[in-house]
């Protein structure tokens, strides 16, 4: 199995489509991932499976790859582990999860915003620009900066899962640039297209971080590193003291508007 454990998940699924069904059984949603470039061995290690579940998964994948053969499967993880009953985040990671809540409230509003959007009016254009301001200031400079400038630095940034997170951030920024261009050109259809693409991207991105990336990172951080992260996050937040309150108010008013 070593050959396939060191292969990108999308390649494994391409060669063996049945592998996608096996991964889905264990809530490893590689079939809907934007990249699929993580190595199979990393995917198994990153997801919070118990040792027994990990062995079961690898045995099923081995049967897909080598049908009719009795293949001995070694445990991929470094040590035996029990599956946690529920996710419990460290204080700094909990900050990021909580920040996702406001971002999710924003992306939940995008369909209603797109439905009523008229970029030929000043009011319509300003509404979109306010949404862009929320993305660039709260989601990007306030939230993503904590990840890119602090959290990710505690890990090997050549890991495919971190490359995927960076790629998602860049795709989001690209959609924002396209939205701004479309507003300037008063191209309502293009604005809607990129707003909806942003919504789809961030919905899946947040799910991957909350359910996979953050729990995996928490398992790898020492108590000292957790304390350092919490302190550094607080330092960054001091530079944006009014930001959370300002954008909480923006989202609240937008929710009232589209109620």
* Helix and strand counts by DSSP (H, E) for the chain: 13, 0
pLDDT of residue 26: 72
Domain extents for the chain?
2-65, 91-257
Helix (H) or strand (E) holding 85: none
Handedness of CA 228, 103, 88, 214 (dihedral sign): negative
pLDDT of residue 79: 46
pLDDT of residue 69: 75
Nearest to 232 by CA among 148, 154, 146, 156: 146
Contact yes or no for 36/30 (Cβ under 8 A): yes
Which fold does the domain 91-257 belong to in CATH?
Answer: 1.20.120
Nearest to 125 by CA among 189, 44, 186, 207: 186
10 Å Cβ neighbour count for 126?
A: 11
Three-state secondary-structure class, residue 196: helix
Q: Which CATH number fits domain 2-65: 3.30.160, 1.20.120, 1.10.3910, 2.40.50?
A: 1.10.3910
Give the DSSP per-residue string, 120-147: TSHHHHHHHHHHHHHIIIIIIIIIIHHH
The pTM score is: 0.76
Residue-wise pLDDT tens digits, 111-146: 999 999 999 999 999 999 999 999 999 999 999 999
């Amino acid at each position: 199995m070593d050959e396939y454990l060191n292969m990108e998940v999308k390649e494994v699924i391409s060669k063996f489509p049945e592998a996608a069904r096996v991964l889905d059984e264990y809530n490893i949603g590689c079939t809907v991932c934007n990249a699929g470039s993580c190595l199979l061995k990393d995917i198994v290690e990153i997801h919070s499976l118990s040792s027994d579940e990990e062995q079961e998964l690898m045995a099923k994948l081995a049967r897909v790859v080598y049908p009719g053969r009795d293949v001995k499967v070694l445990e991929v993880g470094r040590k035996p582990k029990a599956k946690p009953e529920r996710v419990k985040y460290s204080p700094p990671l909990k900050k990021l999860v909580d920040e996702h809540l406001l971002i999710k409230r924003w992306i939940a509003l995008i369909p209603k915003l797109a439905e009523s959007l008229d970029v030929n009016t000043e009011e319509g254009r300003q509404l979109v620009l306010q949404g862009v301001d929320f993305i660039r200031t709260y989601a990007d400079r306030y939230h993503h900066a904590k990840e890119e400038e602090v959290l990710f630095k505690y890990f090997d940034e050549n890991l495919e899962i971190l490359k995927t997170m960076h790629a998602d951030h860049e795709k989001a920024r690209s959609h924002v640039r396209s939205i701004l261009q479309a507003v300037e050109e008063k191209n309502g259809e293009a604005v809607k297209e990129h707003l909806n693409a942003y919504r789809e991207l961030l919905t899946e991105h947040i799910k991957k971080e909350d359910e996979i990336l953050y729990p995996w990172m928490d398992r790898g951080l020492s108590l000292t590193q957790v304390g350092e992260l919490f302190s550094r996050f607080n330092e960054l937040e001091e530079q944006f003291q009014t930001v959370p309150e300002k954008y909480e108010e923006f989202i609240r008013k937008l929710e009232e508007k589209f109620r």
